[in-house]
Structure 1
């Protein structure tokens, strides 16, 4: 029996596409290539980075609750850890072998640091693993709106303060969007879909307040 939800798959596909395009634009801008298109590339980069990672975490939180992953988190977390270590190592290896030809060079310090400081593109999986562990170990299956609102305040505050505390910055900021995904999943199941859509719009409100 096929239990997949087509609009969720389409949303994930769209989010993946924005990540690929966003990283391409970022790489071109960082390398100083195609300077004649700098304005257009910067506009594209700014537009994508204004929503794509919050969208990923909202979808992740939504699917986490809907698929009841908190009941099978050990296998899920193990899968995530394996994928994270493989791709973080491969990312490091390519950057290391290419040396001065990459925008951000890496050494053996960065390789050892993948256990506490993921290489830039891989931080999403690292943070997602921590969210899965927190929600599953603490048996958090449902969240209330006051909790969502409090996490929104924490997210905005972390952006404003701009603390240099590594991946913790990402945890503090994106926890709000993951929790919003869990909350919206509850709303779609127990209430109306249009109600959940309103909460998704509210969720992105925090992102744009933070950007401003």
Structure 2
């Protein structure tokens, strides 16, 4: 069990680093550092499918899989919806106090925008929190997903069906519903389901091989950088990327069980809070305190990355000593 916790923690750490790098829009497209950053960002394209896969894996591994449905939903309301509402309202109030020139996603004090805060997360004050709502929605449907966990034929058919929903052509507007992040939920459920299958069928242990890690790593790099991705190729690419990270993390957990230190235990809090240090660093960079050359760009980029991990971790560790009602605001 300890080995499982170690390698899953490493997977979470890799995933959150990829997410943060994807959000480090320090200077915009005109920055001299951006071309290199784009190469780095592209490598982490597996980030959200990987997060969903790990969520399904942990769901099947822990007692949540056997919980009564009402208890599961109650737990996820506390764990997911309360932080979502809290951080959305806090960020909304904070952004209202800022000039619009500082905001990539503008806010408004009107009925339409208030509706977006609660029901269209990707268009709300904290766009990346769509993941939290999608994850909650998927948990609502876990009884259906669990019923398919029997014969291999049922699992394969379910995976193929969910894959079809993942890559439904954009012109099918009925599946492009942004309310409650349903559009993204439809494209992510397949990865949550894959995580459940990997745990229940003990697939992760079979992937614990340097040969698999190296082979899938090379294939992933080839697909992500040298292949013009079609819908099917994209599915294959994400699948290969997930296998690569699972296999690599298994091996790393044996060699370096404490890799990424104690902060890897707070990846959920880092995900919830990482945009605040990024916003601060972006403001500092755009104030042109130093001449905006390559060195300045990479200095702020690095500080932004590190602070996005360190500050939420400090808040989470400090929050452990706070009353329960306050801890729940950041998912503790």
1:193 corresponds in structure 2 to 205
1:156 corresponds in structure 2 to 167
1:15-34 matches, within 5 Å, as: 15-25=15-25, 28-29=27-28, 32=29
1:127-142 matches, within 5 Å, as: 127-136=134-143, 138=144, 140=146, 142=148
SS state at 1:106 partner: coil
SS state at 1:98 partner: coil
Cα distance change on mapping 1:41 and 1:94 into 2, 3 Å: farther
* Structure exhibiting the larger radius of gyration computed from Cα positions: 2
Q: Report how many aligned residue pairs link the two structures.
A: 199
SS state at 1:84 partner: helix
1:41 corresponds in structure 2 to 37
Compare 13-22 and 65-74 and name the one that shifted more.
65-74
Q: State whether structure 2 residue 52 is matched by structure 1 residue 57.
A: yes
TM value normalised by structure 1 = 0.79
Kindly indicate which of the two structures has a greater share of residues assigned to helix.
Answer: 1
Q: State whether structure 2 residue 114 is matched by structure 1 residue 102.
A: no
After superposition, the C-alpha distances for 1:36-89 in whole angstroms (9 at most, x for unaligned) are 1121122223332x2100000000011111113141413321221111111222
1:88 corresponds in structure 2 to 88
After superposition, the C-alpha distances for 1:154-203 in whole angstroms (9 at most, x for unaligned) are 21225686864212220110011111111111121xx67226998xx79x
The 2-side partners of 1:69 and 1:141 are apart by 15
Please tell me the root mean square deviation across aligned C-alpha atoms, in Å.
Answer: 3.2
SS state at 1:35 partner: coil
Q: Check conservation: 1:58, 1:178, Cα contact below 8 A.
A: yes
After superposition, the C-alpha distances for 1:67-115 in whole angstroms (9 at most, x for unaligned) are 1314141332122111111122223233322231111111133333232
